[in-house]
Structure 1
Amino acid sequence: MSYARKEYADFQKLAPDAYEATLALGGFAAKAGRDKELLELVKLRASQINGCAFCVQHHILLAEKLGVSADKLNLLVVWREVSQFSARERAALAWTEALTVRSDGVSDQIYEEVRAEFSDSELTYLTSAIASVNAWNVFGVAYRWTPPGRQARPSAAAS
């Protein structure tokens, strides 16, 4: 069992400017009126890939609060294999995986799929949300932040 090296709250105290910048990047898409449920699925999927326990739990809690179905949350890890996800969600999840894993870059096929579902502005905001959650994941994994409990949720603005 590994223990936290630092906690989420420590990040706020130790580097408030970096915390605020990361928080701001993550909030732009939601502030621009983008689909909050979709953004939580994207953030949750990136967090699963990156192995950030804190962010996985955080985004599950936020998604539940927004009314994302338990089926979608439970099956997100195998989204390609099930029918619960719309074409728009599938495009966003493929984009998320391409930007999170990045070993193969972003194929023209994935780019065309996501462009068919999102306007230029929407795609830019979606990309900013993915960049933000990946940054949060770096901190969460590096410091092994303790996942939040159902009673002790971090602010909805985080990541």
Structure 2
Amino acid sequence: MIEKGRDERLAEAVALRGAGEREQARQSLVALSAEFPADAEVAYQTAWAHDVLGLEAEAVPFYELALAGDGLDGLDGLSDEDRRGAFLGYGSTLRGLGRYPEAVEVFRRGIAEFPEDNALRTFSAMALYNVGEHHEAMRTLLEVLAATSSDAGVQGYRAAIEHYAKDLDAVE
């Protein structure tokens, strides 16, 4: 019997998660992670498998490994798409665990790499709110709203929204 390779096993585990077989996917990915401990993609998929089961605390070390893998120090890096997803998942997980300052830092790192990613910016605003940075949170949300909304009313006031996003306390 021919043993399945890493890529095939990873694809099968991801397909299991997609098919709703989340616990089986998690178990497969944990085993794969043990076999490939320096594989950022496996770590990312393993973190995600924990998250979808509500096992956020268990996801944290896998997210950390996934984001450490940048091709340096013998770790394989993630694709840009997966790296964005890892920043979003990790930051959201930390926020969900009440680790707000750490979440803010993860989101800041993600936004530094992917400044146009509005999902990262939106989730970052939530974490900023949690650490009391209300002005920054509101500024971020207003910028995302102005840039992405297709609502005619919002677009009609886009310039004003963008202006006030810079300083909500401005008096004209």
* Shorter-chain TM-score tier: under 0.3
| Bigger Rg, which one | 2
Taking structure 1 as the reference length, what is the TM-score of the superposition? 0.28
